[in-house]
Amino acid sequence: MSRPTDIPAHVAIVMDGNGRWAEKKNRPRTFGHQTGLKALRKIVQYCGSIGVKELTVFAFSSENWSRPEKEVNRLMELFMRALDREVKELHENGVRVRFIGDLSAFKPEMQQKIGLAMSRTEGNQRMTLNVAANYGGRWDILNAARKTAEAYANGEISLEQVDELYFSEQTALSAGHDPDLFIRTGGEMRISNFLLWQSAYSELYFSEILWPDFSPETLDEAIIAYNTRERRFGLTGKQVRRPTAQGT
């Protein structure tokens, strides 16, 4: 298979299928999450090598708290281990790590580790890794609306100043760009409350592959499919393909 040529600047991934992958192998669901972390490590490394500037992954949704207590506790343990082991390597490779979501729900020790990871890598510029933890797209929009309302109530902005750009700056990904390519693994064809505001014009790609089996080669397939898309952003195809003044 040929390598993709047009690399999306920002890729977002719903890493679905860890539990089902483990169940197919008659292993605990938590084993799938552990293997899924290894898959994520490979994808982060590969994205950095091909020029993806921003990667956003759905690690733990606000709805995931409803899962069995044992599974949630294991996920929290994996988060803690990843913060201890992975951040050092990410920092050495120039990756900036950001966590988005309602982090107040996590234990103080984890909040402290998250804060240290973000401050330690803040100056890195090779790539940004956004980890969505206790995140929900509706929460994100509601939170942005609250901040906007507070700013208006305090006289900091006028109604005329509230436009899409201002509102975007109040969301969790305010420091980044909207995703170019949105990938969901595991065979489900829905976005599951992930980046609802930011994905308005993202190209969606659904893969049957369960997340632990997702590889750089699979990512290449997604990017090649992305390369075949015509991104019009509300324009007509003719407008998008209009020749430039130089005739190219």
Q: Show which residues are catalytic.
A: 16, 64
More confident residue, 155 or 3: 155
Token look-up 């933890």 returns 133
Quick one: pLDDT at residue 247?
47
| pLDDT of 126 strictly over 90 | yes
Mean pLDDT of 61-75: 79
Quick one: pLDDT at residue 227?
95
Residue 214's nearest CA partner among 58, 37, 27 is: 37
Question: Tokens in use for 161?
Answer: 């100043």
Residue 61's nearest CA partner among 91, 112, 18 is: 18
pLDDT digits (tens, 9 = 90+) for 151-199: 999 999 999 999 999 999 999 999 778 999 999 999 999 999 999 999 9
Token look-up 């790539």 returns 127
Question: Tokens in use for 227?
Answer: 């390369």
More confident residue, 4 or 128: 128
Residue 167 exposed, middle or buried by CB count within 10 Å (0-12, 13-18, 19+): middle
| pLDDT of 240 strictly over 50 | yes
**Those residues with Cβ within 8 angstroms of residue 125's Cβ, 6 or more apart along the chain or in another chain:** 94, 96
What is the chain's Cα-based Rg?
Answer: 19
State the Cα–Cα distance between residues 194 and 164, nearest whole angstrom: 19
Quick one: pLDDT at residue 248?
43
Question: Tokens in use for 162?
Answer: 């509230």
The region, left, alpha or beta by phi > 0 then psi within -120 to 50, assigned to residue 97 is: beta
pLDDT level of residue 234 (50, 70, 90 thresholds) = low
| pLDDT of 233 strictly over 80 | no
List, in order of start, the domains of the chain with CATH numbers: 10-137+178-240 (3.40.1180.10)
**Those residues with Cβ within 8 angstroms of residue 149's Cβ, 6 or more apart along the chain or in another chain:** none
State the Cα–Cα distance between residues 198 and 137, nearest whole angstrom: 9
Are 209 and 229 spatial neighbours (Cβ–Cβ below 8 Å)? no
Are 202 and 181 spatial neighbours (Cβ–Cβ below 8 Å)? yes
